[in-house]
Chains A and B, each alone.
Chain A
């Protein structure tokens, strides 16, 4: 079955440093989504990427979808303490309205 791998599992950064998490799928994806889960909270949708090579930005967050639609990355510039949480990628091989396969997430820990 489809597998989505995410690295690193944990990332410690100093406040103000940049952060990147990477997502790789064993199969070609129709789309990839990114979610953020704050400690004690539930996953919250951030963005969906659909097109090969797509790049989207949300303030300090930059999301990329690989040309082969098998990998993706999330980059945060100049981290802030509010960025703390776990970032999950989730891939779909179908038309979108099916069960997503989530990566195990990257836990971002920020030291002030």
Chain B
């Protein structure tokens, strides 16, 4: 596609439920990133993929968070047993390998 797409655009869930967020990067981009942004705040790095491997998982806030990428393309970020503090916008970005990262529109997650 023309840009990075993410789904769903909005997700409301109850505390304790699992959620799965999806990212479709720009075709051909080898690098894929997940960030989290709370309202009015900066971007918190979560995880980075180069191809299907994740050389940097240092940003995942807890073991409730996991991510995978298959076929060097689509990635899913899974949050298990969601907590209210997980509420944020989850942004995905892709990059051809060096330089600019191209962000998707984000998934707005609200945990009640």
Interface residues of A (CB under 8 A from B): 1, 33, 41-45, 48, 88, 90, 95-105, 107
Bound complex: CA of A42 vs CA of B45, how far in Å? Answer: 15
Bound complex: CA of A49 vs CA of B77, how far in Å? Answer: 30
Contact A102 B43 (CB under 8 A): yes
For residue B107, give the distance in angstroms from its CB to the closest CB of chain A.
11
Name the one of B45, B56, B103 contacting A43, with C-beta atoms under 8 angstroms.
Answer: B103
Specify the main secondary structure of chain A where it touches its partner.
loop
Contact B100 A33 (CB under 8 A): yes
Q: Which 3 A-B pairs have the closest CB atoms?
A: A104-B42, A45-B100, A96-B98
Contact A97 B50 (CB under 8 A): yes
Bound complex: CA of A52 vs CA of B97, how far in Å? Answer: 22
Name the one of B31, B45, B58 contacting A97, with C-beta atoms under 8 angstroms.
Answer: B31
Bound complex: CA of A105 vs CA of B39, how far in Å? Answer: 12
Question: CB-CB < 8 A to A41: which residues of B?
Answer: 105
Question: CB-CB < 8 A to A42: which residues of B?
Answer: 91, 103-106
Beta-carbon nearest neighbor of B98 in chain A: A96
Interface check B83, CB cutoff 8 A? no
Contact B42 A45 (CB under 8 A): no
B interface bracket (residues with beta carbon within 8 Å of A):
20 to 34
Question: CB-CB < 8 A to B95: which residues of A?
Answer: 97
Interface check B71, CB cutoff 8 A? no
Contact B99 A48 (CB under 8 A): yes
Question: CB-CB < 8 A to B106: which residues of A?
Answer: 42
For residue B60, give the distance in angstroms from its CB to the closest CB of chain A.
11
Residue among A90, A99, A104, A105 with the highest chain B CB neighbour number at 10 A: A99
Question: CB-CB < 8 A to B101: which residues of A?
Answer: 33, 45, 100
Query: Can you list 20 A-B pairs, Cβ within 8 angstroms, ordered by A?
Result: A1-B58, A42-B91, A42-B103, A42-B106, A44-B103, A45-B100, A45-B102, A48-B100, A88-B43, A96-B98, A97-B95, A97-B98, A98-B48, A99-B33, A99-B45, A99-B56, A100-B45, A100-B101, A102-B42, A104-B42
Residue among A42, A45, A88 with the highest chain B CB neighbour number at 10 A: A42
